[in-house]
Amino acid sequence: MHRRLASLALLIVLAVSFAPATAQATPNSQVQCESSFGFRALHDLIPQIVGECFAGTYDIPSNGAVRFTTGDLEIYVDYADLAQITTNGVLLWRATDAWTAFTDGTTTWVNGPCGLQSRPNDTRYSWEIGGGCDGAPPVSVVAPPLAPETRQWPQVEEQIFALINQQRLEAGVQPVVWDQHAADVALRHAQEMAQSGYLSHWNQAGEFPQQRYGQVGGRAYAVQNVSCQWRTWSGDPPSPRPPFSEQAVAEAVFTQQMNMIGETPPADGHRRNILDPNRTAVGLAIASGDDWICMDQEFLNQYMSLEGIPNQPLVGEPLHLSGVAAPGYEVFAVQLGYLPPGLPMTIEELHLAPLQYGNAPVYRQLSPQLGPDGSFSLDVAFDLPSSAVDPFSGALLEGLGTDGAFLASASGPPRAGRYQVTVWVRAPDGIVLPAANPMFEVRDTPALAAP
């Protein structure tokens, strides 16, 4: 038996057990604990919880976590710039957003832009991951328990999620949060690849990653990392095949993950997806078949909350769409695209499918009304004329542009099908990036109500 590893601009990760790296803290005696970096202010808000400060502050090196011991507590800190030990835990300060916090090893009290808040250590508030002070409860940054009857390798998936965030923190990038919807989308594709024996961004229905995510209700912008390992046999394979052990899966995919994080330009698509500071969430899944182990990771940009998204709008009818960008972000552009129906693909075609994929072809630039708070609103008409679409393949005809000139000469009733809206935002640093990508199944007639 032989084993082979392969990947596309994707990513595979499994792991054994990963302990946080440790580093020796460096005392900084020049900073007084009672006044520096908001430590005293936070102490005065919750004195019984924080306890009393002692010694000086500590510079936390960027290349690893620091282990603090105070009383009977042993606390690991892996994302802060300064720390101050107290009798009950550790005070922390982060330079990027002047974030001040206290943790007792289980709970963190954060004094930030939304006032004093407390949360479990394995969660984050919306404003900590690019959102605003929306009053929403904190979200988990640890993979939730996964149903064993549907997910084959839940413990390895949790280890991969932890490894991704460990690698991001080591690179000075904020961690991503877990997105269950994206994980469910990833599971379906990982299972199909493992059971059918192929590696591709596309599936057997001819659907690409953003299409699979959007057509089941995903609203964020998604990019994908996938990878597979398979085994071959020198003679006839045994029947039934010996099952993969969890240790074999973990070791194989951990090797693949480390290969991808070690990529160098220009062939570093996996690494860029893992470490992209604009990614805010991820959902991942691992599946195995008779001879294949496959992994799908869906990284998301979540910078926009949207309203006015029915499941199945009617063709030609205007839809009022509105939303609000994350604090500090502003809407830059809104585009409307039409997605031709996917054509089934054979396993041979999937092996030869292109490595690049994108969104639905854009046929119109939209003009939203913009608010000073990062909000936008507009009426969308799903109105692609039938004559603009090839009657045989369903693809947009050659020459279709986004300036309206081609559409002006097209005729016929508007076409039903899948439309996609892409909202682009400008980040505080001036970078323009896709923030939302909802898909609409536009119908000719109203959907029948369930009996």
The pLDDT tens digits of the residues spanning 57-71 come to 666 654 344 555 555
Has this prediction a pTM greater than 0.75?
A: no
Give me the pLDDT at residue 334, please: 92
Give me the pLDDT at residue 77, please: 58
Give me the pLDDT at residue 112, please: 83
Helix (H, G, I), strand (E, B) or coil at 166: helix
Q: What percent of the chain has pLDDT over 70?
A: 73
Give me the pLDDT at residue 53, please: 80
Q: Distance between CA 346 and CA 125 in Å, rounded?
A: 44
Res 37 pLDDT > 60: yes
Q: Distance between CA 272 and CA 444 in Å, rounded?
A: 41
Q: For the residues 393-400, what does the mean pLDDT come to?
A: 51
Which tops the pLDDT comparison, 286 or 139? 286
Contact 329, 426 (CB under 8 A): yes
Q: For the residues 320-345, what does the mean pLDDT come to?
A: 86
Which tops the pLDDT comparison, 356 or 187? 187
Residue type at 425? V
DSSP 329-381: -EEEEEEEEEEPPPPP--HHHHHTS-S----SPEEEEE--EE-TTSEEEEEEE
Instruction: Extract the tokens encoding 83.
Output: 């720390």
Q: For the residues 183-192, what does the mean pLDDT come to?
A: 93
Tens digits of per-residue pLDDT, 75-91?
555 556 678 888 888 88
Q: Distance between CA 253 and CA 156 in Å, rounded?
A: 9
Give the CA dihedral 4, 7, 13, 16, nearest 10 degrees: 20
Give me the pLDDT at residue 34, please: 56
Res 22 pLDDT > 60: no
Confidence tier at 271 by pLDDT (50, 70, 90): very high
Q: Distance between CA 401 and CA 425 in Å, rounded?
A: 22
Q: For the residues 282-304, what does the mean pLDDT come to?
A: 92
Tens digits of per-residue pLDDT, 341-381?
767 888 888 988 877 777 788 888 888 999 888 889 998 88
